[in-house]
Amino acid sequence: MKRAGMLIFLLLVAARFAALSIEPYGDQVFDLATGVTTLPQGGVIHDNENDLSIDAGYVEYKEDVYVLARKARSEAKDIRFAAEKLRYDLPEQLVSLAEGVVLDTAQVKELKAQNAWIFIEAGVAVLQGGVQAADPELQAAALVSDYRTGEVLLLAPYRYHDAGLGITLAGKNPDKQLYLKFDSKTDEVSASSKVPPEIKKRLLGFVERVKARKTP
């Protein structure tokens, strides 16, 4: 009975840590030597503190350190995303995505890229590699978005089509970004090559932070 009680206790500890709760689809394998728990059949991870959920076909996690997931679909406040590979670094509150990345925000739908990084606490997403979206229609080498304020920078080479005005804006100069501002009340979008200095400094700062990082 004591052994059974201890086993149940260990499973509960493995299934719930920090602000996360785990709903496995099948078995859980807990490695006492490494502290890593694996869900071979996948499951749903909830970060209750950040209102983040991850639904994946395979999950590996380590207490207070990271979550790895394959074939993941996720949702947080003001953003939804999916990818073949996902890593969530808990101390940094940073989600890294690779392969088949798709994001949806209030401003941009079906935003696709090779890689993406989502700074959960800051509400900022950085996308790199073949960035494109259909609504609004855009392409860029990279994109950085504050999806809570509706401020977006497209990094060159970029192309943006304003369906309302019937115009297309394009740029190839790597030192010039296109600034998009989405109005949450009217759904109107303003575009300009003149980026407010404080916004440029802040958003490009997140781009610099991911340059040295490896994809998951």
pLDDT digit string, tens, across residues 122-181: 999 999 999 999 989 999 999 999 999 999 999 999 999 988 778 999 999 999 999 999
Classify residue 216: in a domain, yes or no.
no
pLDDT at residue 214, rounded to an integer: 59
- Give DSSP secondary structure letters for the chain: -HHHHHHHHHHHHHHEETTEEEEESS--EE-TTT-EEEETT-EEEEETTTTEEEEESEEEEETTTEEEEEEEEEEETTEEEEEEEEEEETTTTEEEEEEEEEEEESS-BSEEEEEEEEETTTTEEEEEEEEEEEBTEEEEEEEEEETTTTEEEEEEEEEEEETTTTEEEEE--TT-EEEEEE-TTT--EEEES---HHHHHHHHHHHHHHHTPPP-
Q: Is residue 87 part of a domain?
A: yes
| Per-residue model confidence as pLDDT tens digits over 35-59 | 999 999 999 999 988 889 999 999 9
Please report, for the domain that includes residue 18, its CATH number. 2.60.450.10
Per-residue pLDDT tens over the stretch 193-207: 999 999 999 999 999
> What pLDDT is stored for residue 19 in this prediction?
65
Q: What is the mean pLDDT of residues 75-90?
A: 95
Question: By residue range, what is the domain housing residue 71?
Answer: 2-211
Radius of gyration over every alpha carbon of the chain, rounded to an integer in angstroms: 20
Number of domains within the chain: 1
To the nearest whole number, what is the mean pLDDT of the chain? 89
Q: How high is the pLDDT of residue 162?
A: 87
The token pair at 76 is 């947080």
59-72, pLDDT tens digit by residue?
999 988 999 999 99
Global confidence as pTM: 0.88
Q: Tell me what pLDDT residue 164 has.
A: 79
